[in-house]
Amino acid sequence: MLWYCRFKWHQHTRADDVRRRVLEQHEQRTDVTGKIKGWYNLAGGGAGFILLESDDPQQVSEILQPYMDLMSWDVHAVYELSYQKAIEEFRKQLQANA
């Protein structure tokens, strides 16, 4: 399962705080490396999102908790849609409802 984990730094958080924490967690939790499928920052800094892969929501919490004093998290389970298949399905559904 894929998880969209949006983050926003708390007002008191500094870039060096985040750098330090990421390095600390990297050294302690090598099992997380394969779980992170994408890490994106928003232009301007202080916010972004991570895509995590895990079938266990508790594991997602365990990965994010060490950062909760530095940033807030908004987490959602997500799934990928094929654009072309979605278009085809929407056409079928609209025709069936006409």
Q: What is the CATH number of the domain that holds 47?
A: 3.30.70.1060
- Helix or strand holding residue 84 (H, E): helix 83-97
pLDDT for res 29: 79
pLDDT at 31 over 80: no
SS3 for 87? helix
Q: What is the number of domains present in the chain?
A: 1
Q: What is the pLDDT of residue 37?
A: 95
Report the amino acid identity of residue 83: Y
**Which pLDDT score is estimated for 55?**
95
8 A C-beta contact, residue 68 and residue 5 = no
Confidence of residue 30 (pLDDT cuts 50, 70, 90): low
Which range marks the domain in which residue 48 is found?
Answer: 2-97
pLDDT tens, position by position, 39-95? 999 999 999 999 999 999 999 999 999 999 999 999 999 999 999 999 999 999 999
The rounded distance, in Å, linking the Cα atoms of 87 and 40 is 28
Task: List all residues 6 or more positions away from 82 whose beta carbon is below 8 Å from its beta carbon.
Answer: none
